[in-house]
Amino acid sequence: MERVAVYGQGGHSKVIQMMLNNGTDQQIGLIADDDQAKVNEQVAIKTVLATQLSDYHAEFDCIVIAIGNNETRKKIAEKYTDMRFATVIASIAVVAEDALIGEGTVVMANTVVHPNVQIGKHCIINTSAIVEHDCRIGDYSHISPAAVLTGNVKVGSNVHIGANATILPGITIGDYAVIGAGAVVTKDVAAGSVMAGNPARKIK
Protein backbone atom coordinates (compact mmCIF):
# COMPACT_ATOMS: atom_id res chain seq x y z
CA MET A 1 0.00 0.00 0.00
CA GLU A 2 1.50 3.31 -1.12
CA ARG A 3 1.25 6.09 1.46
CA VAL A 4 0.61 9.47 -0.17
CA ALA A 5 1.25 12.89 1.35
CA VAL A 6 -1.43 15.28 0.08
CA TYR A 7 -0.13 18.83 -0.38
CA GLY A 8 -2.96 21.35 0.08
CA GLN A 9 -6.31 21.46 1.85
CA GLY A 10 -8.66 23.23 -0.57
CA GLY A 11 -11.60 21.79 -2.49
CA HIS A 12 -9.38 20.02 -5.03
CA SER A 13 -7.51 18.38 -2.16
CA LYS A 14 -10.74 17.06 -0.65
CA VAL A 15 -11.61 15.36 -3.95
CA ILE A 16 -8.18 13.74 -4.12
CA GLN A 17 -8.50 12.62 -0.50
CA MET A 18 -11.82 10.98 -1.37
CA MET A 19 -10.19 9.21 -4.33
CA LEU A 20 -7.40 7.90 -2.10
CA ASN A 21 -9.87 6.75 0.54
CA ASN A 22 -11.85 4.83 -2.10
CA GLY A 23 -8.83 3.28 -3.78
CA THR A 24 -7.10 -0.01 -3.09
CA ASP A 25 -3.42 0.63 -3.81
CA GLN A 26 -2.90 4.01 -2.13
CA GLN A 27 -3.83 5.66 1.15
CA ILE A 28 -3.34 9.06 2.76
CA GLY A 29 -0.14 9.20 4.77
CA LEU A 30 -0.57 12.78 5.92
CA ILE A 31 -1.62 16.23 4.69
CA ALA A 32 0.71 19.20 4.28
CA ASP A 33 -0.18 22.85 3.86
CA ASP A 34 1.58 26.22 3.82
CA ASP A 35 -1.04 27.83 6.08
CA GLN A 36 -0.60 27.26 9.81
CA ALA A 37 -4.28 28.05 10.43
CA LYS A 38 -5.36 25.24 8.09
CA VAL A 39 -2.92 22.88 9.76
CA ASN A 40 -4.49 23.69 13.11
CA GLU A 41 -8.04 23.17 11.76
CA GLN A 42 -7.45 19.61 10.55
CA VAL A 43 -8.04 16.97 13.20
CA ALA A 44 -9.14 13.82 11.37
CA ILE A 45 -5.85 13.28 9.48
CA LYS A 46 -2.34 14.13 10.60
CA THR A 47 -1.50 17.53 9.09
CA VAL A 48 1.85 19.31 9.08
CA LEU A 49 3.32 22.47 7.65
CA ALA A 50 4.76 21.92 4.18
CA THR A 51 8.09 23.24 5.41
CA GLN A 52 8.20 20.25 7.78
CA LEU A 53 7.59 17.56 5.14
CA SER A 54 11.14 16.30 5.19
CA ASP A 55 10.87 15.74 8.96
CA TYR A 56 7.99 13.29 8.38
CA HIS A 57 9.39 11.44 5.40
CA ALA A 58 9.10 8.11 7.22
CA GLU A 59 5.30 8.51 7.22
CA PHE A 60 4.75 8.68 3.46
CA ASP A 61 6.18 7.19 0.26
CA CYS A 62 5.31 9.91 -2.22
CA ILE A 63 3.49 13.22 -2.58
CA VAL A 64 0.64 14.57 -4.71
CA ILE A 65 0.17 18.31 -5.13
CA ALA A 66 -3.55 18.81 -4.58
CA ILE A 67 -3.79 22.38 -5.87
CA GLY A 68 -5.80 23.36 -8.94
CA ASN A 69 -3.78 26.35 -10.14
CA ASN A 70 -1.28 25.22 -12.79
CA GLU A 71 1.45 27.72 -11.99
CA THR A 72 1.26 27.10 -8.24
CA ARG A 73 1.44 23.36 -8.82
CA LYS A 74 4.54 23.88 -10.98
CA LYS A 75 6.29 26.04 -8.39
CA ILE A 76 5.70 23.48 -5.65
CA ALA A 77 6.86 20.59 -7.84
CA GLU A 78 10.05 22.44 -8.70
CA LYS A 79 10.66 23.16 -5.02
CA TYR A 80 10.38 19.52 -3.94
CA THR A 81 12.58 17.86 -6.54
CA ASP A 82 13.91 15.48 -3.89
CA MET A 83 10.43 13.96 -3.41
CA ARG A 84 8.81 11.15 -5.38
CA PHE A 85 5.43 12.17 -6.79
CA ALA A 86 2.35 9.97 -6.86
CA THR A 87 0.11 9.47 -9.88
CA VAL A 88 -3.46 9.19 -8.59
CA ILE A 89 -6.17 7.61 -10.76
CA ALA A 90 -9.77 7.29 -9.57
CA SER A 91 -11.01 3.73 -9.24
CA ILE A 92 -13.91 4.53 -11.60
CA ALA A 93 -11.83 6.20 -14.32
CA VAL A 94 -11.33 4.28 -17.58
CA VAL A 95 -7.70 4.43 -18.69
CA ALA A 96 -6.26 2.49 -21.63
CA GLU A 97 -3.47 0.09 -20.76
CA ASP A 98 -1.04 1.79 -23.15
CA ALA A 99 -1.77 5.34 -21.98
CA LEU A 100 1.34 7.05 -20.55
CA ILE A 101 0.57 9.24 -17.54
CA GLY A 102 3.28 11.37 -15.92
CA GLU A 103 4.21 11.55 -12.27
CA GLY A 104 2.06 13.75 -10.07
CA THR A 105 -0.89 13.69 -12.48
CA VAL A 106 -4.41 13.16 -11.14
CA VAL A 107 -7.11 11.43 -13.22
CA MET A 108 -10.51 11.92 -11.62
CA ALA A 109 -13.74 9.95 -11.49
CA ASN A 110 -15.60 8.98 -14.68
CA THR A 111 -12.76 10.24 -16.86
CA VAL A 112 -11.98 8.28 -20.03
CA VAL A 113 -8.43 8.15 -21.39
CA HIS A 114 -8.25 6.21 -24.65
CA PRO A 115 -5.37 4.33 -26.34
CA ASN A 116 -2.05 5.88 -27.35
CA VAL A 117 -2.51 8.93 -25.13
CA GLN A 118 0.41 10.67 -23.45
CA ILE A 119 -0.19 12.96 -20.47
CA GLY A 120 2.64 14.93 -18.87
CA LYS A 121 3.52 15.38 -15.24
CA HIS A 122 1.43 17.19 -12.60
CA CYS A 123 -1.66 17.48 -14.81
CA ILE A 124 -5.29 17.39 -13.73
CA ILE A 125 -7.70 15.38 -15.87
CA ASN A 126 -10.87 16.38 -14.11
CA THR A 127 -14.20 14.66 -13.52
CA SER A 128 -15.85 13.14 -16.61
CA ALA A 129 -13.30 14.56 -19.04
CA ILE A 130 -12.68 12.57 -22.23
CA VAL A 131 -9.22 12.29 -23.75
CA GLU A 132 -9.58 10.47 -27.05
CA HIS A 133 -7.01 8.36 -28.87
CA ASP A 134 -3.58 9.73 -29.83
CA CYS A 135 -3.84 12.92 -27.77
CA ARG A 136 -0.78 14.55 -26.19
CA ILE A 137 -0.98 16.77 -23.10
CA GLY A 138 2.02 18.70 -21.77
CA ASP A 139 3.11 19.17 -18.16
CA TYR A 140 1.07 21.14 -15.57
CA SER A 141 -2.07 21.36 -17.72
CA HIS A 142 -5.64 21.15 -16.44
CA ILE A 143 -8.46 19.56 -18.42
CA SER A 144 -11.63 20.65 -16.60
CA PRO A 145 -14.77 18.61 -15.89
CA ALA A 146 -16.58 17.19 -18.95
CA ALA A 147 -14.11 18.72 -21.42
CA VAL A 148 -13.58 16.62 -24.54
CA LEU A 149 -10.32 16.28 -26.44
CA THR A 150 -11.23 14.47 -29.64
CA GLY A 151 -8.66 12.39 -31.50
CA ASN A 152 -5.05 13.49 -32.05
CA VAL A 153 -5.28 16.74 -30.11
CA LYS A 154 -1.99 18.23 -28.91
CA VAL A 155 -2.14 20.34 -25.75
CA GLY A 156 0.93 22.26 -24.57
CA SER A 157 2.20 22.81 -21.04
CA ASN A 158 0.45 24.99 -18.43
CA VAL A 159 -2.76 25.01 -20.46
CA HIS A 160 -6.21 25.39 -18.89
CA ILE A 161 -9.16 23.93 -20.78
CA GLY A 162 -12.49 24.95 -19.25
CA ALA A 163 -15.45 22.79 -18.30
CA ASN A 164 -17.47 21.34 -21.19
CA ALA A 165 -15.06 22.68 -23.80
CA THR A 166 -14.62 20.60 -26.96
CA ILE A 167 -11.37 20.48 -28.91
CA LEU A 168 -11.89 19.14 -32.45
CA PRO A 169 -9.62 16.48 -34.00
CA GLY A 170 -6.04 17.31 -34.87
CA ILE A 171 -5.99 20.70 -33.11
CA THR A 172 -2.81 22.00 -31.45
CA ILE A 173 -3.07 24.25 -28.38
CA GLY A 174 0.07 26.19 -27.43
CA ASP A 175 1.64 26.53 -24.01
CA TYR A 176 -0.13 28.72 -21.40
CA ALA A 177 -3.30 28.99 -23.49
CA VAL A 178 -6.69 29.25 -21.77
CA ILE A 179 -9.83 27.77 -23.33
CA GLY A 180 -13.08 29.08 -21.86
CA ALA A 181 -15.85 26.88 -20.50
CA GLY A 182 -18.11 25.53 -23.23
CA ALA A 183 -15.82 26.70 -26.05
CA VAL A 184 -15.62 24.70 -29.27
CA VAL A 185 -12.09 24.94 -30.66
CA THR A 186 -12.01 24.47 -34.42
CA LYS A 187 -8.51 25.71 -35.26
CA ASP A 188 -5.04 25.76 -33.73
CA VAL A 189 -4.51 28.01 -30.70
CA ALA A 190 -1.33 30.06 -30.31
CA ALA A 191 0.64 29.97 -27.07
CA GLY A 192 -0.70 32.32 -24.40
CA SER A 193 -4.03 32.92 -26.14
CA VAL A 194 -7.37 33.12 -24.34
CA MET A 195 -10.18 31.59 -26.40
CA ALA A 196 -13.94 31.51 -25.84
CA GLY A 197 -17.17 30.87 -27.69
CA ASN A 198 -18.55 28.56 -30.36
CA PRO A 199 -16.62 28.53 -32.53
CA ALA A 200 -13.85 29.68 -30.21
CA ARG A 201 -12.35 33.09 -30.93
CA LYS A 202 -9.38 34.85 -29.38
CA ILE A 203 -10.45 37.33 -26.70
CA LYS A 204 -7.01 38.19 -25.32
List active site positions. 133
- Show the beta-strand stretches assigned E in 42-200: 47-49, 62-65, 88-89, 94-95, 100-101, 106-107, 112-113, 118-119, 124-125, 130-131, 136-137, 142-143, 148-149, 154-155, 160-161, 166-167, 172-173, 178-179, 184-185, 194-196
How many Cβ atoms are within 10 Å of 179's Cβ, its own excluded? Answer: 26
Give the Cα separation of 30 and 115 in Å (integer): 34
